[in-house]
Amino acid sequence: MRTLLIAGNWKLNPTSTEAAAALADGVKNGLGPATDVHVVLAPPFVFLNKVDQVLEGSPIGLAAQDLYWESNGAFTGEVSGPMLVDVGCTHVVIGHSERRHGMGETDAQVNAKLKAALAAKLIPIVCIGETKDERLGEKTEEVLLGQLTGSLAGLTAEEAAGVVLAYEPVWAIGTGLTATPEQAQAVHAYIRGWLAQVFGEATAARVVVQYGGSVKPDNAAELLACPDIDGALVGGAALKAGRDRPRQVLTRAPDLDREQRIPNVGVLTVIFNTLIVLLSLFLVCLVLIQRGKGGGLAGAFGGAGGSSAFGTKAGDTFTRITIVAASIWILMTMLLVILTSRQTPSLFDDAPTSLTRDLTKPAAAPEAPAPVVPAPVDAAAPVAGAPAPSAAPPAAPAPAGDAPAAPANNFPLTPGNEPPPSPK
């Protein structure tokens, strides 16, 4: 069973060592003795040492937000894996969308950093995800396939098992939008299916796949209840530490079984709507009977119609029943309004129906030629857009039998975009 991993990415926050220490201390105290999940904090580089001191004696891990693929040398402004380990880091975030799309970081660079992290014995959290335009253009599978193939190129099955993947749809980061649990689960199942096809079922079952994108206390429980979502990469919500908030944001409820399925808001809405319709029909019948327009309904009670058929006492009883039923109807309507207003906004709300299709099902064959699959990256080759490495280590060959042969193509992917055989 995979253990949930909740990582708080502080990004470029806060602005002082004192504030960083206070935030880390708030998370530490708010989290308490929880041991059912792994929790990691990722502050800016300059606060790593101080936060490590604050977290001493707690089970909370420490992550850097990036690293360089060289261990040392003339690389001004860069930070290496060995440096991060020395300052107390256990994890490192690699390929965050803000670096991919804001700073032009490529899959080749992510791959080089990933291998450097593994060499330094750091646990890498590799981020992948599509932009809003790519999602609306139905290119999610194509984008994820390219990022997975390029970022994890050259890894053995054992190395891949030690990598944490974080699916963070770019359109949901800091926007308040988020995929529904069903939509997020579909993408995570797609990712795990790719892992199974390339590295084998055993490896796919071990890889932790997080969800990131406007994760907060209001939606965390539903997302974490999905079978292929193994944690969360939390952004803005991780910067608010209070007495209860760290547990709300960074952990799930202790009694939440991984096999349990929390009822979706949409299901509850349907139930409430059904009950309201039935109650409305009941009210209509009561009113018709009392007004003498119930026809057969009144006759069924032995009267000619209306409350006169039942006598004054019976009429009063029907009036009381009507008042109670109407009160319940008003209450249920108010609850329905509150329930629907609390639904997390989603990009899919206004998107074409085709966007909500199950990503684990094969897409229709494209009319245009199939896109070219990114070739695996050689770790020894210089990374595009970066200074030439001084001594880039060659990619470690996979031991015989370490990476299981890819099974037959029984995991449906976009035609023409099948991943290459298991890396050797």
Note the pLDDT tens digit of each residue in 132-177.
Answer: 889 889 899 999 999 999 999 999 999 999 999 999 998 887 776 7
Sign of CA dihedral 55, 56, 62, 64: positive
d(CA 204, CA 214): 26
Mean pLDDT calculated for residue range 301-322? 59
Among 70, 105, 130, 168, which one carries the catalytic annotation? 168
d(CA 66, CA 43): 11
User: For residue 390, what is the DSSP state?
Assistant: S
Per-residue model confidence (pLDDT) at position 33: 67
Kindly report whether the peptide bond that precedes residue 399 is cis, defined as omega within 30 degrees of 0: no
Is the distance from CB of 322 to CB of 288 less than 8 angstroms?
A: no
Nearest residue to 26 (alpha-carbon basis) of 6, 64, 55: 55
d(CA 66, CA 334): 48
Token code pair at residue 222: 């539903």
For 288, other C-beta atoms within 10 Å of its C-beta total 16
Half-sphere exposure of 349 (CA within 13 A, CB side): 9
Among 96, 105, 141, 418, which one carries the catalytic annotation? 96
Mean pLDDT calculated for residue range 196-220? 92
Architecture of the structural domain at 4-262: Alpha-Beta Barrel (3.20)
Mean pLDDT calculated for residue range 362-372? 42
Close Cβ partners of 357 (under 8 Å, ≥ 6 residues apart):
363
Token code pair at residue 210: 């997080």
pLDDT-derived band of residue 35, with 50, 70 and 90 as boundaries? Answer: low
Token code pair at residue 279: 């109650």
Mapped onto helix, strand or coil, the DSSP state of residue 167 is: strand
Domain ranges of the chain: 4-262, 266-341
User: For residue 180, what is the DSSP state?
Assistant: -
Note the pLDDT tens digit of each residue in 53-91.
Answer: 999 989 999 999 999 999 999 999 999 999 999 999 999
Token code pair at residue 213: 């994108």
d(CA 131, CA 279): 45
Per-residue model confidence (pLDDT) at position 313: 61
Claim: this prediction has a pTM higher than 0.75: no
d(CA 78, CA 64): 12
pLDDT at 323 over 60: yes
Close Cβ partners of 211 (under 8 Å, ≥ 6 residues apart):
166, 167, 168, 179, 184, 188, 223, 229, 231, 232, 233
| 96 a catalytic residue | yes
- Of the chain, the percentage scoring pLDDT greater than 90 comes to 44
Nearest residue to 28 (alpha-carbon basis) of 42, 17, 41, 19: 41
Strands 164-167 and 209-212: parallel
Is the distance from CB of 214 to CB of 177 less than 8 angstroms?
A: yes
